[in-house]
Amino acid sequence: MTVPRTATFVISIDVEMSWGAVHHGRPHDASPYRLEREVVARTLALMERHGISATWAVVGHLFLAECTAAAGSHPHPEIVRPEYPWLPDDWYDLDPVSNAAAAPTWYGPDLVDAIRACPVPQEIGSHSFGHVIAGDPGCGPEAFRTDLAAARALAEAEGLALRSFVYPRNSIGHLDVLAAAGFTSYRSPTPDRFPGITGWRRRATTLVDTVRPLATATFQPVVRGTLVDIPQTYLFDPDSKRARRLGTMAWSLAVRRRLRHAVRTSSLFHMWFHSHNLAAAPERAFRAMDAVFAEARRHMDAGRLENLTMGAVAERWQESHAPRG
């Protein structure tokens, strides 16, 4: 594997609004998503200020301004339904079959427009059409294929070719179907930083690593056929217990230590979050994010760090693996 000379900074953001929570089996509460548009706008403003690009993994249904259904039937009949033992109802039973004005957390073409309008180029990726759980055995290949086809068709109508994929609930499945649908990269869950270390040694190592990330635990994207697997390495969650306990600036320093660790070891720092993670504690989120982006910008200007979208990582890593001739 060709080791890059500089570190790589990837950001991926899951944009799902109500689709991310509706199948959790509780009465649906849309209130956490009411701040979504404001949070996306503030994130984009910070990215513009520091010249930072991200991959925005948008649920395909949010591309729609409205949807309809024939009398007595479910919406989106062209999509084969997954059959999960834990969900007796149709996957789209909870779809409000309405429009963005009446049900703003289910439709969001304005969000897609806002991301595309950012003067610093941003990538629109996919988080599936209906937030289906691909790695669950109840989701067969046809269910996943037809879901992806629906997401692709909507994006193509907007002149967008989807290349990068974030699996809902990070549940990986049907990689062959993903590749056949034209995707070139996906995000995988955070790898084990300390494989083979167990018991008290693991607890001690993890504690030390929290304070000063250990040089041994580094990650890089991995080429898997026509796909590039880009593991997530840091969940940016301003409402986590740790962030609340540390306070904003100490927590931001903890994030920046991960970034510095990647810079020191020329490895991957892949920060990810849902837009509603920021909505849960927006003031802490944006102060910390401003500090992280400012530091990333300094490393970038010094030639030690490259900020790439998932799509750009896929291109770069495939090129470095192309047969020489």
Residues interacting with Zn ion, by CB under 5 A? Answer: 67, 75, 95
Nearest-approach distance from CB 132 to Zn ion, in angstroms: 13
**Nearer to Zn ion by C-beta: 107 or 272?**
107
Nearest-approach distance from CB 75 to Zn ion, in angstroms: 4
- Which pair of structure tokens corresponds to residue 66? 């409205």
Nearest-approach distance from CB 71 to Zn ion, in angstroms: 16
Tell me whether strands 185-188 and 222-224 are parallel, antiparallel or unpaired: unpaired
Q: Which residue(s) pair with 269 in the sheet?
A: 9
**Nearer to Zn ion by C-beta: 14 or 95?**
95
Reported as half-sphere exposure (CB side, CA atoms, 13 A), residue 118 has a value of 27
**Nearer to Zn ion by C-beta: 64 or 289?**
64
Which residue's Cβ lies closest to Zn ion?
67
Nearest-approach distance from CB 108 to Zn ion, in angstroms: 12
Nearest-approach distance from CB 148 to Zn ion, in angstroms: 16
**Nearer to Zn ion by C-beta: 77 or 247?**
77
State the CB neighbour count (10 A cutoff) for residue 9. 24
Indicate the DSSP class of residue 97: -
In one-letter notation, the amino acid at residue 155 is A
CA dist 309 and 55 (Å) reads 5
Nearest-approach distance from CB 162 to Zn ion, in angstroms: 18
**Nearer to Zn ion by C-beta: 149 or 214?**
149
**Nearer to Zn ion by C-beta: 150 or 288?**
150
Tell me whether strands 123-126 and 227-231 are parallel, antiparallel or unpaired: unpaired
**CA 83 → CA 76, 112, 191, distances in Å?**
16, 30, 29
Tell me whether strands 222-224 and 227-231 are parallel, antiparallel or unpaired: antiparallel
Nearest-approach distance from CB 97 to Zn ion, in angstroms: 6
What backbone torsions phi and psi does residue 235 show, to the nearest 5 degrees? -85, 115
**Nearer to Zn ion by C-beta: 99 or 170?**
99
Tell me whether strands 55-58 and 123-126 are parallel, antiparallel or unpaired: parallel
**Nearer to Zn ion by C-beta: 109 or 135?**
109
Alpha helices in the chain (DSSP H): 36-50, 109-116, 141-157, 175-180, 199-211, 241-246, 248-265, 275-279, 282-301, 310-320
Nearest-approach distance from CB 36 to Zn ion, in angstroms: 17
Indicate the DSSP class of residue 9: E
CA dist 15 and 295 (Å) reads 25
**CA 275 → CA 20, 57, 230, distances in Å?**
11, 10, 20
Tell me whether strands 268-274 and 222-224 are parallel, antiparallel or unpaired: unpaired
Nearest-approach distance from CB 18 to Zn ion, in angstroms: 11
**Nearer to Zn ion by C-beta: 103 or 253?**
103
- Which pair of structure tokens corresponds to residue 296? 């990333």
